[in-house]
Amino acid sequence: MLEINTNIEKPYTPTPPLGGRGGVIETIDLTKCFGNFTAVDHISFSVEKGEIFGFLGANGAGKTTAMRMLCGLSKPTAGQGFVAGYDIARQPEQVKKNIGYMSQKFSLYEDLTVKENMRLFAGIYGVKENLILPKIDETLSKLGLTAEANTLVKKLPLGWKQKLSFSVAIFHEPQIVFLDEPTGGVDPITRRQFWKMIYEAAERGITVFVTTHYMDEAEYCRRVSIMVDGRIDALDTPANLRAQFHAENMDEVFTKLARKATRIES
C-alpha cells in the first residue's frame, strides 16, 4: 500500500441526502443508453465541494460513460445531472467552464512541447496572458519538469505525461476535476506523487472525481461509489464499506460486489 500523509485528510461529515442541491455534483436517475444497451442505469449521487470522490467499477461497468455525461461530452438519455450548479443536458458549455478533465487515454497534443500544451489550454480557458507564463514556471518546477519545458510531449515517459495531463486539467483552477483512471500503467513512485498532487488540489478546494482500478487508491478517497452493470451498488466511506461488507480491505469489498456483474466485459 502507498503511504500518504494522512493528516491532510479532513474529518468525514455526512453528505446531504441523495438528490439534494447541496453538492457540487448532483445526479438524479442519470441514464445513458446506446441503442438497446443501458450503459448507465439510473444513477443518483451527490458529491460535496472539496471532496475526493472515488468512482469504482469493473471494466465496462459504465464509469467512463457516466463521467463523460458529467463533463458535458455526452448527452444523458434520461435523468438529470448538475455540475457546479449547471444542468449537464441544457448548459454543457457552462459546465465546461468550471471543470477540468483528464481522459483515460492521453489526449494532450503530442506534437507540442510541455510548455506549449500548458499555454494552449490556459489560453482556451481564458487565463490572463500575463498570468500564464509565471504559472507555467511555477507548475513545472512543482512537477520537477522544468528541464523538460521545451520537450515534445510525445518524448515524455507515461508517468510524466499523466502528471502533465493532471496539471493541465487543474491549471485554470476549476471547481471540479474529473480524472479517468489517472494512474493506469504508472509506476508506484509516480502514483504516490500523483496522489500527493490530488490531495494538494483538494486542499485548495478543488473537488476531485476520480475513477481507479487500484483498491489501495480507493482507500485515499473520502467516499467511494462502486458501479456494477451501470448501477451504483454501494456508496460510502471506505471504512463504512468495509464494515458493511465484512471485508478487511477495499479489494474484498470490490470483489464481493463485482462478482454479481452479469455484463460481459467490454
Partner 1 sequence: MLKYLIQKEFKQIARNSFIPKILIALPLMAILVFPWAANQEITHIQVAVVDKDHSTYSRRLTEKIAASTYFRLTVWTDTYENALSNVEAGKVDIILEFPSDFEKQLLTQNRAKVYIASNAVNTMKGGIGSGYMTSIIRDFADEIRTETLPVTYSHPSLSILNSQLFNPYGDYKIFMIPALLVMLLTIICGFLPALSIVSEKETGTIEQINVTPVKKTTFILSKLIPNWILGFIILTMYMLLAWLVYGLIPAGNLIAIYFIALIYIFVVSGLGLVLSNYSSTVQQAMFMMFFFMIIMILLSGLFTPIASMPDWAQTVTLFNPLRYFVEAMRMIYLKGSHIMDLGKQLLALSLFALFFCGWAVMSYRKTN
CB atoms within 10 A of CB 265: 8
Q: How far is the CB of 83 from partner 1 (least distance, A)?
A: 12
Nearer to partner 1, 32 or 223 (CB): 32
Nearer to partner 1, 57 or 100 (CB): 100
Nearer to partner 1, 174 or 238 (CB): 174
Task: Give all strands (DSSP E) within the chain, no chain letters.
Answer: 25-34, 37-47, 52-57, 78-83, 86-87, 99-102, 176-180, 207-211, 223-228, 231-236
Q: How far is the CB of 7 from partner 1 (least distance, A)?
A: 33
Q: Indicate whether 12 belongs to the interface with partner 1 (CB under 8 A).
A: no
**Total interface residues for partner 1 by CB under 8 A:** 31
Contacting partner 1 within 122-161 (CB under 8 A):
123-126, 152
Q: Pattern of binders to partner 1 over 57-86, x per CB under 8 A?
A: --------------xxxxx-----------
Max CA pair span of the chain: 55
Q: Indicate whether 188 belongs to the interface with partner 1 (CB under 8 A).
A: no
Beta-bridge mates of residue 152: 113
Helix (H, G, I), strand (E, B) or coil at 198: helix
Q: How far is the CB of 95 from partner 1 (least distance, A)?
A: 9
Contacting partner 1 within 222-241 (CB under 8 A):
none
Q: How far is the CB of 93 from partner 1 (least distance, A)?
A: 5
DSSP 95: H
Q: How far is the CB of 262 from partner 1 (least distance, A)?
A: 27
Beta-bridge mates of residue 113: 152
Q: Phi and psi dihedrals of 30, rounded to 5?
A: -65, 130
All three cell numbers of 55: 468512482
Contacting partner 1 within 82-121 (CB under 8 A):
92-94, 96-97, 99, 101, 103, 105-112, 116, 119-121
Pseudo-torsion of CA 92, 94, 96, 98, nearest 10°? -140
Residues 159 and 55: their CA atoms lie apart, in Å, by: 21
Q: Site residues (CB under 8 A) for partner 1?
A: 71-75, 92-94, 96-97, 99, 101, 103, 105-112, 116, 119-121, 123-126, 152, 168
